[in-house]
Amino acid sequence: MKGILKIALGVIAAIGGFVDIGDLVFNAQAGASVGYSVLWAVPVGVLGIIVFAEMSGRIVAVTRKPNFVLVKERYSERLSLFTLVASLVLTCLTLAAELGGLGFVLNYFFDVSVGFFVLVALLVAAAVIAFVPFGGIERVFGYLGLALLVYAAAAVKLDPSWSAVGQGFVPEVHGDALHWYFVVGLIAAALMPYEIYFYSSGAVEERWDERDMAVNRANAIIGFGLGGLLSVAILVSSALVLGGAGVTPESLGSVALVTQVPYGELGLLLALVGILFAVGGATIDTAFSAAYNLAQHQGWRWGKRFQLVREPRFTLSLAGFLLLGFAIAQTGVDPIELTEYAVIFSIPVLPLTYLPILLVGNDRELMGRHVNGPIARTLGWAYFALICVLALAAPVLFVVTNGGS
Amino acid sequence: MSSRPVALLAALALVVAAAGCGGPMRADELSRSIDTLASAAAEGALLADGAAQDRTKATFTRAHARELGETVEHEAEKLSDATANGAVATDKADAVELADRISQQLGQLQTAPDDRAGARSAGDRLRALADEATRLAEDAGP
């Protein structure tokens, strides 16, 4: 029973981390703009995050060290500081986008004002962080985020050409820059740095040890695999509903509209509830990730497993990042544009995030019998090479395609 | 990792971005702008279909129609402010007028999301306007 409950960590990381505002928008835009031809990028990204999440969870179980402690140990002081600053900037932008997105979703339910609901979202997120135990946060947001499964049902009900969907999983040579922009964006959205920071720090919060190896593996595979399934469902249903009507989705409302077409008001409400809890979970993930990174870099005591009032520096940084995200969201910046920038410009930071995990995972002296096997080592280096290629390609594609428009 | 490649890429991005600023509007820019109008009109038609069939939530229809309307108005302002020459100027004027008509239909949805007959009529008009915008974007394209 305890093992089953622990799998919730993977589920929230998947629903509230993997399927965040960036995934929702990028998958819908990709489906509407270029159709099924980029579907293969989803499993590529999902396998990458599974490989590195499993590795980082295993490292925590053996060494009790979360990702940013590895960054500090393996990099020079200057590079470690650069990685910290870059990750904080990107995580805060993502946090602002998630808070802004929550404002829009709540406004679809009550139609008062987006700005007012961004404030409500901030207060609710702060209250949840302060008063709900870590396990409770996982379960509430992870399980209610499962309402997004309505996209899987919608994809089936819309009756796509399954052979065309199947062909989408086979990569093809393409000369269109927009196609490659979405390929890079879909892979990057799966590998957003804050996901791995949250996963490894969450494993410390859950006090994983060597007995939790099976739970770690199940979390990574089930959690992120489920996230990948949702991504495919959103992409396919958006291709049919939005792409078929000539719509390029520019807001979360466009993404929600997709399920209204096959299922009417019930479909719309399920999509809105799923988006609300997925984006809400991601808001909390990103706030924690930023505070975790800063505390781990500075060597402070950190974590929700302790009483927050007894960790003033960690608690203040958590509050500070939430307020910073709120301030950015309240400037009126479009959360969708913000999340697109955050996804694309997180790519150059990806190698710095993932290299320490790979180095420690391959270190037999530290990892003992849990060192990376030949499959994990080969996949790890292959993905690291891919991440380096993406890091170079992403900014160029962003400029060439005018931000995917 | 050296910061030099990152700085070079950022500089390249700025140069390319700067190259796209200033001067009269180009055909590809106008076409992209009209595509945005066509997309908003097509999405408005989907939204109107839900309202006409009573298969949606009124607050969603109102709030999302407002968002789409703001997108259209923003695009119309950008078009109005831009300078253009020759055929681009003519298409630009057509696009501004089209944006105004799309905005009116979205306004109908925003004002009366529960009016099923009004939504049906707005949906039909928005679909026609989306087709018109698509044709105009093709004509205006390079």
Chain B residues with CB under 8 Å of A348 CB are 6, 9
Does residue B39 form part of some domain?
yes
**pLDDT score at A404:** 66
> Would you call A257 and B36 a contact, using CB atoms and an 8 Å cutoff?
no
Mean pLDDT, range B61-68, rounded to an integer = 97
Please count the CA atoms within 13 angstroms of the CA of B77 that sit on its side-chain side: 6
Interface of B with A in 106-135 (CB under 8 A): 130, 134
Residue of A nearest to B40 (CA): A247
Residue of A nearest to B65 (CA): A253
How far apart CA A197 and CA A83 sit, in angstroms, is 12
DSSP-derived letter for residue B26 is: P
The answer to whether residue B45 scores a pLDDT higher than 90 is yes
Work out the mean pLDDT of chain A and round it to a whole number: 90
The answer to whether residue A370 scores a pLDDT higher than 50 is yes
Give me the total of CB pairs closer than 8 Å, taking one residue from chain A and one from chain B: 88
Report the number of distinct structural domains present in chain B: 1
Does residue B111 form part of some domain?
yes
State the pLDDT confidence band at B1, using cuts at 50, 70 and 90. Answer: very low
Does residue B11 form part of some domain?
no
What is the percent of chain A with per-residue pLDDT over 70, rounded to a whole number? 95
pLDDT digits (tens, 9 = 90+) for A76-114: 999 999 999 999 999 999 999 999 999 999 999 999 999
Degrees, nearest 5: CA angle B81-A249-A110: 95
> Would you call A257 and B43 a contact, using CB atoms and an 8 Å cutoff?
yes
The answer to which of A238-242, A370-374, A395-399, B29-33 has the lowest mean pLDDT is A395-399
Does residue B45 form part of some domain?
yes
Q: In this structure, how many other beta carbons lie within 10 angstroms of the beta carbon of residue A400? A: 13
How far apart CA A369 and CA A162 sit, in angstroms, is 44
The answer to whether residue A12 scores a pLDDT higher than 80 is no
Does residue B8 form part of some domain?
no
> Would you call B67 and A82 a contact, using CB atoms and an 8 Å cutoff?
no
**pLDDT score at B2:** 41
Max mean pLDDT range (A144-148, A241-245, A298-302): A241-245
State the pLDDT confidence band at A13, using cuts at 50, 70 and 90. Answer: low
> Would you call B43 and A247 a contact, using CB atoms and an 8 Å cutoff?
yes
Contact (Cβ atoms closer than 8 angstroms) between residue A299 and residue A276: no
Q: How far is CA A169 from the centre of its chain?
A: 22
Q: Which of B45, B53, B59 sits opposite A109 (nearest CB)?
A: B59
How far apart CA A126 and CA A123 sit, in angstroms, is 5
pLDDT digits (tens, 9 = 90+) for B109-119: 999 999 999 99
Cβ of residue A264 closer than 8 Å to a chain B Cβ: yes
How far apart CA A317 and CA A197 sit, in angstroms, is 16
State the pLDDT confidence band at A364, using cuts at 50, 70 and 90. Answer: very high
How far apart CA A365 and CA B133 sit, in angstroms, is 65
How far apart CA A248 and CA A252 sit, in angstroms, is 12
How far apart CA A209 and CA B45 sit, in angstroms, is 55
How far apart CA B30 and CA A166 sit, in angstroms, is 36
Q: Which of B3, B46, B53 sits opposite A247 (nearest CB)?
A: B46
pLDDT digits (tens, 9 = 90+) for A276-309: 999 999 999 999 999 999 999 999 988 887 777 7
State the pLDDT confidence band at A257, using cuts at 50, 70 and 90. Answer: very high
**pLDDT score at A41:** 96
Residue of B nearest to A83 (CA): B1
A258 to chain B, minimum CA–CA distance in Å?
Answer: 9
End-to-end CA, chain A: 48
Q: In this structure, how many other beta carbons lie within 10 angstroms of the beta carbon of residue B43? A: 30
Cβ of residue A352 closer than 8 Å to a chain B Cβ: yes
> Tokens 């999340």 — which residue?
A339
Interface probe, candidates A78, A83, A106, A108, chain B, greatest B C-beta count within 10 A: A108
Question: In sequence order, which residues have a C-beta less than 8 Å from that of residue B18 and are 6 or more positions away?
Answer: none
Comparison of pLDDT for A400 and A322, the residue scoring more: A322
**pLDDT score at B19:** 47
**Residue B98 structural domain:** 26-140
Question: Which segments within B33-76 are labelled E, that is strand?
Answer: none
Does residue B116 form part of some domain?
yes
Does residue B1 form part of some domain?
no
Of A315, A105, A173, A345, the closest CA to residue B9 belongs to: A345
Does residue B15 form part of some domain?
no
> Would you call B62 and A248 a contact, using CB atoms and an 8 Å cutoff?
no
DSSP-derived letter for residue A349 is: G
**pLDDT score at B55:** 95
